[in-house]
Amino acid sequence: MDDRRDMALAMDRLLAHGHAVTPQRRLVAQALRDAAGPISAQELSAALEPGRGIGQMTVYRTLALLADAGVAYQIAATDADRHLARYVFCSGSHHHHLVCQTCHAVLEVGGCGMESVDRDVEQRTGFAGVGHHLDFVGTCPACAAVASGEGH
Amino acid sequence: MDDRRDMALAMDRLLAHGHAVTPQRRLVAQALRDAAGPISAQELSAALEPGRGIGQMTVYRTLALLADAGVAYQIAATDADRHLARYVFCSGSHHHHLVCQTCHAVLEVGGCGMESVDRDVEQRTGFAGVGHHLDFVGTCPACAAVASGEGH
DNA sequence: TCGACTATGAGAATGATTATCAGTGAGGAG
DNA sequence: CTCCTCACTGATAATCATTCTCATAGTCGA
C-alpha cells in the first residue's frame, strides 16, 4: 500500500504551495486520510484529542491549507447536515466524489471527461479559465438494500 | 418577456410540492429572480426591506422551500466568500451555473450531457439514483479585460 | 363563507468559524 | 555558538449566518 506515498505527496504539495510541514499538519492530514467519510473540522479535532491535543484553530487552518494545496476537498453536497463544512482526502489526480445520501460514504470517481466540457463552456460563453466543481450523490448498495428491506 | 410566466411557474411548483403561495413567498422569489448574481438570504432580506418588512426567518424558510421545489439553486462554488449560502433563480429545465470568480456574475449553461455520466457512474459503482451537483467557475470577458489591462 | 392547518416574524439562542495575540520553535546571519 | 526573524500554534473571545420558539395572521379546500 502507498500510505507513505500519500502522505509524502501531500506534504510535498504543502511545501510547493509555500507552507511549512509541521507535526500537527501531518497528523491532521493523516486523520483526514484515515477518516471513513467526509469529516468536519470539529470531528477531526475530536479524533485527534486522544493522541495529541491539537487546537481546533490549527485544524481549521490546516484544512484550509490542504484544500489550497489540492490535498483536501470540501464536499458541496452536504444537503443532510446543516451549514457544516466537510472535507475528504484527495490523493491522485483529477477526480470527483460520489457521496451516499444515507450513510455519507464516499467513493472517488475518475474519468469524468469534464475537461472537454470546460473547453466547450469556454467556447460558448467567452469566459476564461473555466473549471468546475462537481459532486455526485446517490444511494450506495448497502443503504439501498436496507431501504428496500424496510419498505412496508 | 416571460416575467409573469417565470413567477407563475415557480408558484405552481411550490403548490405541486405541497407548499402554500403567499405574498411573501412571491416577493422573495421575484427578488431572487431579479438579483444580479448569486444572492444570500441576508442580502435578499435587505433588498426587500424598502417595500415590505419581510422577516429574515421567512426569507430563509422560503429559500429552502424554493430550493426544494427546484425553483432556486444553492451555489456551491462560493470560494471567495466565507461560509455563506448563495442562491440563484432557476427557471427552465436541467442546467448548470457558470460563476465569474471576480464579479460573481452568473450564466446558465445548458446541455452539459451529464445525464449519461450519471448512468455511467451508476454502472461503475453500483450506486442507485445517482445525481450530480455541478457548478462552473471562470472569469467573465469583462473581468478578464480589466485584469489584463491592470497587469503592469 | 368556515374551519383546519400552515405561514409569518420578532427576539433570543445556537453553533460553526474566525480574530487576537502571546508563547514556541526552526533556521540563517554574524 | 548566539541572536534575530518569522512562521506556526492554540486558548480565549468575538463574529455572524442560521435556527428555534410561539403567539398571531393568513391561506386553501370544502
**Above 50 in pLDDT, residue A5?**
yes
pLDDT for A81: 55
Residue A109 and residue A119 share a domain = yes
Give the count of domains, chain A. Answer: 2
pLDDT for A86: 87
Please give the span between the terminal C-alpha atoms of chain B, in angstroms, as a whole number: 44
Angle ∠(A47,A49,A54) on CA atoms, nearest 5: 105
Mean per-residue pLDDT of chain A: 82
Taking 3-state DSSP, the helix, strand and coil percentages for chain A, each rounded to the nearest 5, stand at 45, 20, 35
Q: List, for residues B108-147, the tens digit of each pLDDT value.
A: 887 667 778 888 889 999 999 898 888 888 888 988 887 6
CA atoms within 13 A on the CB side of A113: 9
Residue B85 and residue B108 share a domain = no
DSSP per-residue letters across A2-31: -HHHHHHHHHHHHHHTT----HHHHHHHHH
Among residues A92, A116, A138, which one ends one of the domains?
Answer: A92
pLDDT for B82: 60
- The CATH number covering residue B108 comes to 3.30.1490.190
Residue A106 and residue A71 share a domain = no
Please give the biggest Cα pair distance in chain B.
57
Residue A70 and residue A48 share a domain = yes
- Can you tell me the distance from the alpha carbon of A74 to that of A130, in angstroms, rounded to the nearest whole number? 19
Q: List, for residues A11-37, the tens digit of each pLDDT value.
A: 988 888 889 999 999 999 999 998 878
Q: Which nucleotide's C1' sits nearest to the alpha carbon of A55?
A: D10
CB contact under 8 A, B129 and A139: yes
Residue A111 and residue A68 share a domain = no
Residue B68 and residue B108 share a domain = no
Residues in chain B: 152
Residue B57 and residue B18 share a domain = yes
CB contact under 8 A, B138 and A130: yes
| Percentage of chain B modeled with pLDDT above 70 | 84
CB contact under 8 A, B125 and A83: no
- What count of CB pairs under 8 Å joins A to B? 105
Among residues B41, B63, B92, which one ends one of the domains?
Answer: B92
Asked if the Cβ of residue B60 lies within 7 A of any atom of strand C, the reply is no
pLDDT for A58: 93
Give the domain extent around A144.
94-152
Residue B73 and residue B114 share a domain = no
Residue B38 and residue B3 share a domain = yes
Distance B20 CA to D25 C1' (A): 14
Which residues 20 to 79 of A reach strand D, CB within 7 A?
20, 22-25, 52-58, 61-62
- Can you tell me the distance from the alpha carbon of B91 to that of B97, in angstroms, rounded to the nearest whole number? 12
- Can you tell me the distance from the alpha carbon of A60 to that of A18, in angstroms, rounded to the nearest whole number? 18
| Percentage of chain A modeled with pLDDT above 90 | 22
A118, B32, B80, B106, B144 from B148: Cα distances, Å = 21, 32, 20, 21, 6
- The CATH number covering residue A23 comes to 1.10.10.10
Residue A74 and residue A43 share a domain = yes
Among residues B92, B109, B133, which one ends one of the domains?
Answer: B92
| Strand A39-40 to A96-100 pairing | unpaired
Residue B148 and residue B108 share a domain = yes
A5, A59, A93, A138, B59 from A29: Cα distances, Å = 13, 10, 17, 27, 38
pLDDT for A21: 92
Residue B61 and residue B12 share a domain = yes
Below-70 pLDDT ranges, chain B: 1-3, 50-52, 77-82, 92-93, 111-112, 147-152
- Can you tell me the distance from the alpha carbon of B106 to that of B97, in angstroms, rounded to the nearest whole number? 6
Mean pLDDT for A64-93 is: 78
pLDDT-based confidence at A131, cuts 50/70/90?
confident
